[in-house]
Amino acid sequence: MNKTLLSILALIFFIGAVNVEAQTARRVKFPSKDGVTITADMYESNPDYPWIVLFHMAQSSRGEFQKIAPKLNRLELNCMAVDLRSGKEDNFIVNETYVLAKNIGLGTSYMDAEKDMKAAIEKAYLIARKPVIIFGSSYSASLALKLGSEMAQVKAVIAFSPGEYFGKELDVTDAAKGLSKPTFIACGSDEKKYTDQIASAVRSSKKIYFAPPKGGAHGSKSLLKETDGETEYWIQMINFIQTVKKEY
């Protein structure tokens, strides 16, 4: 076993031992592209570290990353976990952006959430003063691939379980063809047949696609302890993140 793999495994062990409740998030609010107030949790470890913007899956909220963000802090990343207007609740954390958008009669579809993602990326870029990594889960993974190809403020893309979730509104495979930045794509073993085409479309020369022969889960749930194969997902993603960080 080489030294690189040993160090990664050691880091995984360390991450597994982290008390994920130790890091307290700071709640912030900022406007979306249409003026709707977005709520996000900031897990800031060191102002000099790169930033990663975390986007949740359907019917979820920024609470999806309560156990993931502190581990990313240990990888020397600052995190912004964002409530998108297409969501609801996770880990008993209500999606405040969804509630506000619904109360004022605005759409809360997957595509409606794209404007929130753009605003969050721009906000994180202003804080970081350099391009940021974006992390998408399920529908937001698909949109992350699209925005990664379009926005100069994006340094790299992490996409867990992207798919063709948008009908005629968006061809994700076609959008992925424009992505040449460092890209990490992962999915559960039972999702591979849907994800292969999207992953193949990404033109980046710095691309990692991880689909285990068995196990895994949908979206960011692949990174949770209760998921079969969780450690391997972390190993693959850490390898990608360390490569991206060398470019800062």
Per-residue pLDDT of the chain (248 residues; tens, 9 = 90+): 455 654 555 565 555 555 444 467 999 999 999 999 999 999 999 999 999 999 999 999 999 999 999 999 999 999 999 999 999 999 999 999 999 999 999 999 999 999 999 999 999 999 999 999 999 999 999 999 999 999 999 999 999 999 999 999 999 999 999 999 999 999 999 999 999 999 999 999 999 999 999 999 999 999 999 999 999 999 999 999 999 999 99
Query: Residue 74 corresponds to which tokens in the numbers above?
Result: 């240990």
Provide the pLDDT for residue 148: 98
Q: Which residues of 102-122 are buried (b: 16+ CB within 10 A; e: fewer)?
A: eeeeeebebebbbbbbbbbbb
The residues near 122 (Cβ < 8 Å, ≥ 6 apart) are 153
Query: Residue 8 corresponds to which tokens in the numbers above?
Result: 């990664």
Largest pairwise CA distance in the chain: 57
The whole-angstrom separation of Cα 168 and Cα 120 is 25
Provide the pLDDT for residue 120: 98
